[in-house]
Amino acid sequence: MTQLQNVSTTDLYYICQIVDTVTRNPSSYIRNIEDIFGDMASISLTHSFPKWTPFHIFIESVISSVIYEEAEKSKTIGTFWVDYLLDANDIKVSSASNDPHGGSLVYGYEYLEQLSQDNLINDVCENVTKQVFHVLFSNRATLAAFWDVVSWYVSDTARLFRPEAFTRSGHLKRSRIPMWAQNSIYHRDKGRCVLCKTDLTKLVTQENSLHFDHIIPLAKGGGNCVTNLQLTCSSCNTRKGGRASTTSKDYEAWYKYD
């Protein structure tokens, strides 16, 4: 929670909105998966349960783009959006970075170049990414949309580059889900099957009562990633099989209104 308090909610939700929009309407922004994930795209998207997930990398790339776009609009130091983000994240800019041209006017890109040489752009993008992730991780529909965008790349390109990670039938091998991932999904989905809402909290000691279900199935290019999991009961899990990529948009209210 301390991280959330580092950025004003106005800006945090502004960035969440951009990331969510890009995720759901990727064609206007994403021309090439490698533009976002770089040469490591195949590894990033098929790595088993990284804590810095592909969705983090995606968020970070969007934030970086927005910082550069905003910099084009403002021509003088002190009016950059990035300055506001640096300040909100308690990242101190050295006087050299702050005034690279001895007080003369500098254009946005020159200033950002100076900041990136000092790794300050990386620092601010990393901090804000964690905050955006904190908000959007709870939105399974956004996560489903994200995996939908990258799934073709996993099935087509990554399979050629990392054949050892795939089964003979062409989908990613199933990985054991680490306890930190199980815990975070259990708490996010509040111990209920996301599809039929069965309360699973009383069933945790019974074998096979909890299922960590891939939102986009491995057979359809989904990854072994905490961002691609949801909690289901055994009957919904069996019914779903490897066919559909269903999640739900329902969330348990914090309290009852009646």
230: helix, strand or coil: strand
* Shortest CB 177 distance to Zn ion, Å: 18
120 versus 195: smaller Cβ distance to Zn ion: 195
Q: Is 158 exposed, middle or buried (0-12, 13-18, 19+ CB in 10 A)?
A: buried
Query: Should residue 193 be labelled a site residue for Zn ion when binding is judged by CB under 5 A?
Result: yes
Separation between Cα atoms, residue 72 and residue 59, nearest integer Å? 20
* Shortest CB 236 distance to Zn ion, Å: 3
- Residue span binding Zn ion (CB under 5 A) among the ranges 132-140, 164-172, 215-223, 234-242: 234-242
Tell me which residues in 198-217 interact with Zn ion (CB under 5 A).
198
Separation between Cα atoms, residue 79 and residue 73, nearest integer Å? 9
Q: Indicate which single residue of 195, 216, 225, 231 sits in contact with Zn ion (rule: CB under 5 A).
A: 195
* Shortest CB 197 distance to Zn ion, Å: 7
R_g (Cα) of the chain, nearest Å: 21
33 versus 200: smaller Cβ distance to Zn ion: 200
Binding mask 236-255 for Zn ion (x = CB under 5 A): x-------------------
Binding mask 106-135 for Zn ion (x = CB under 5 A): ------------------------------
Query: Should residue 36 be labelled a site residue for Zn ion when binding is judged by CB under 5 A?
Result: no
Separation between Cα atoms, residue 92 and residue 86, nearest integer Å? 7
Query: Should residue 233 be labelled a site residue for Zn ion when binding is judged by CB under 5 A?
Result: yes
149 versus 195: smaller Cβ distance to Zn ion: 195
Separation between Cα atoms, residue 48 and residue 22, nearest integer Å? 25
Kindly state the number of chain residues that form the binding site for Zn ion, as judged by CB under 5 A. Answer: 6
* Shortest CB 151 distance to Zn ion, Å: 23
Q: Are the C-beta atoms of 67 and 82 separated by less than 8 Å?
A: yes
Neighbours of 29 (CB within 10 A): 15
Tell me which residues in 136-165 interact with Zn ion (CB under 5 A).
none
* Shortest CB 213 distance to Zn ion, Å: 9
Please, where are the H alpha helices in the chain? 2-5, 9-24, 33-37, 41-46, 54-73, 81-88, 95-98, 108-117, 120-136, 140-153, 159-161, 179-188, 234-240
Six-digit token pair at 127? 């901090």
* Shortest CB 222 distance to Zn ion, Å: 19
Query: Should residue 4 be labelled a site residue for Zn ion when binding is judged by CB under 5 A?
Result: no
Query: Should residue 194 be labelled a site residue for Zn ion when binding is judged by CB under 5 A?
Result: no
> Euclidean distance between the first and final Cα of the chain, in Å?
29
Which residues in this chain contact Zn ion in the complex, by CB under 5 A?
A: 193, 195-196, 198, 233, 236
